[in-house]
Every structure is written in C-alpha cells, then in structure tokens.
Homo-oligomer: A and B are copies of this chain.
Amino acid sequence: MRKDPSRATGRPTLAEVARLAGVAQITASRALRDVPTVDPGLVSKVREAANVLGYVPNPAARTLASARSQSVVVLVPALSNQLYIETLEAIHSVLRPRGYEVLIGNFHYSREEEEELIRNYLAFQPCGILLTGFDRTEASLRLLEANKVPCVHMMELTQAEDVFCVGFSQEDAGAVVARHLLARGKRRLAYVAAQLDARVLQRGEGFKRALAEAGVLDPALEIMVPEASSVGLGGELFGRLLRQHPDVDGIFFCNDDLAHGAIFEAQRQGIAVPDRIAFVGFNDLPMSAHIVPRLTSIRTPREAVGKHAARLMVARLAGAEVPDRTVDLEFELVVRESS
C-alpha cells in the first residue's frame, strides 16, 4: 500500500477512505469538509467509509496544506483569576464542538510576554485570535496586522471602526458603584485597587468621575498597588486605608477578592459593615453571595463574553456578515448586605 511503511502513522488516511468509498481523494476531502459542490450521495458514501475506518483527519497535514489551522488562540492576562477561567470555559464550549482547537496563552499581565506569545502562536497559523482588551505593544499590533488573522477583543469596548469587541463599559460600572454608595448616604468614598491593568484603571476613572460630579471626590481616598490581587492583600489594604483615613465610609474594591479580605479584616477589628463602612466589590464571584455580610458587587458577564466572542469568531470564519462589531453585554449591580 504505502511506499515506505516505516514513515506512516498507522492511522487511516484520507486516501484509504476515498478508496473504500470509490471516489478520488480530493472528493473525499471535499465531502468531509462540506464543500457544497459534492453530490449528496457521494457525501454520505464518504462519510460512511470514514466511519467504518474510524478515520480522523490529521490536523497537521490539514494545516500544512491549507496554510491555516483549525486552532483559535486565546490570550488572557492570568489564569489564576477565576474571572478568566469562566470566560475560557465558555469559549471552549462554543469552539470545541465546532471542531476548533483552543490554544491558551497566559501573558501574566505583561505586554512583552503577550507579544512573545503572539509571535510564537502565529507559527501555528491559527484561524483566529481572541484577545483581552486593547492595551498591547506596537509590535504586537503589527504582527497581528501583517498576518491578517481575524481578531476579537474581549472585556473592553471601543468606538474604533473595524474592530470586533465583546465586553462592557468598565467606566460605567465604576460610576454605577459610586452612585449607589452616594445613594446610601456615604460621602467619604475610596477606591482600593491592585493588579493595575487597563480595566482596573477604567473602573477607577468611572468611579472618581461620578464622585467628582457629586462634588465629593477626595483624591487622597485611594489605594492603588501594582501587585497581584488576593484575599490577604485586601485585608491589608483595608487596614492601611483605615489608619490613614479613619473617616472613610464607603469603599469600592476593584475586585471581589480584595473585598472579601477586607470583610474578614473588618470582622476581626469589629468594624460594622455596612453601617460604619460600606463595601462594594467587582465581578460577583460565587462566594460573594454567601460571605457574611453578603457582598454588594458588579456582576460581570464573563461567561457571556466568552460565548459571544467565540460565536463572533465562528461567524467571521464562516464568512458571515456580522452586523454588530461591538457587543455590549452590560453589567449588573447586585446589591446585598455589605452596602
């Protein structure tokens, strides 16, 4: 059969499927890829032959021949963050059943690392890339541009033309939190943030803008540290803020982790939440609905972002007309006991 059996993999090939189905190899190829110019009768014949042989296409050969893989690269700033896990899971759930492979790249909140990942992953000739946000190096942008890989941006929105993005307004979310705390009668409002990526900064901007509009912005009421966010850090930053500004009566944490830590610390110090100080988190992690007191938070559509971004990519790859290049999935303020 094969000229040099030592090189072969042992698995059935398209040629064998074609032979069994009694058609040319290329016809079998087209039949299995749903190319519309193949007679339905032949398609089912080929399908059956493939089934009988247990044929699974060789992705390497496919990629080499067509210069385009069936892989979608997803670049996220962290895996440790529960947030991105849910998004990734959603992306998987859309792409895998449609035959796409998902390659995950974690760039650890580093633009340089992201650039390196892009460079390396482009060698896989991915059919699309899902990116987090818009903040990346010039070189990254050039690479993506030069390789003409379809991109979809997640988590942030933009007005720019020809950019596909799925997310929500981080700034508006910050503003909503500010107005909520103001409505609760709080006036000494602080923003506590860690892991200062673009989105964390946007939330803070929105929060402070709303405070300024209400005439209660005190720029001193802010702690922003670049280190990674964690429960322990939340307690620490809360303690620090309280020592510096004992009169603070409301805090917006850039994510729930920090808020959880602050709740524990408040409990230890015997500080009444929300009476003396109200807390609001961000992301609405599962724990927030159960912690004592239950945490008010912004519920972010992170699963929906993944699903929509993946669907948008699939639509583009299928050549479909995509009416909405910008998908605003919105967020929701979930008011609970902590405010």
Residues of chain A having any CB pair with chain B under 8 Å:
7-9, 11, 56-64, 67, 69, 79-80, 82, 85-86, 88-89, 92, 101-104, 106, 119-120, 122-125, 230-232, 235, 260-261, 264, 267-268, 286-287, 289-292
Q: How far is the CA of A232 from the CA of B69 in the complex (A)?
A: 42
Are B67 and A9 neighbours in the complex by a CB distance under 8 Å? yes
Are A123 and B88 also in contact (CB < 8 A) when A67-B7, A290-B264 are? no
Task: State whether A64 and B67 are in contact (beta carbons under 8 Å apart), knowing that A89-B79, A101-B103, A232-B289 are contacts in the complex.
Answer: no
- CB within 8 A of A61: which of B7, B64, B235? B64
Known interface pairs A286-B230, A287-B260; A64-B56 also in contact (CB < 8 Å) = no
Query: What is the CB-to-nearest-CB distance from A237 to chain B, in angstroms, rounded to a whole number?
Result: 13
What B residues does A11 contact at CB under 8 A?
Answer: 123
Q: What are the residues of chain B within 8 A of A261 when measuring CB–CB?
A: 290
Residues B79 and A232 in contact, CB atoms below 8 Å apart? no
- Please give, as numbers and ranges, the residues of chain B lying within 8 Å of A232 by CB-CB distance: 286, 289-290
- Residue in contact with A119 in the complex, picked from B56, B119, B125, CB distance below 8 Å: B56
Q: Top 6 A-B pairs ranked by shortest CB distance?
A: A60-B63, A56-B123, A60-B64, A60-B60, A267-B292, A231-B290
What is the minimal beta-carbon distance from A322 to any residue of chain B, in angstroms?
26
Q: Which residues of B contact A124 (CB under 8 A)?
A: 59-60, 101
Within the assembled complex, what's the spacing in Å between the Cα atoms of A98 and B287?
37
Q: List 26 A-B contacts (CB under 8 A).
A: A7-B67, A9-B67, A9-B125, A56-B120, A57-B123, A58-B64, A58-B125, A59-B123, A60-B60, A60-B61, A60-B64, A60-B69, A60-B124, A61-B64, A79-B88, A79-B89, A80-B89, A92-B106, A101-B124, A230-B286, A231-B289, A232-B286, A260-B287, A260-B290, A261-B290, A264-B291
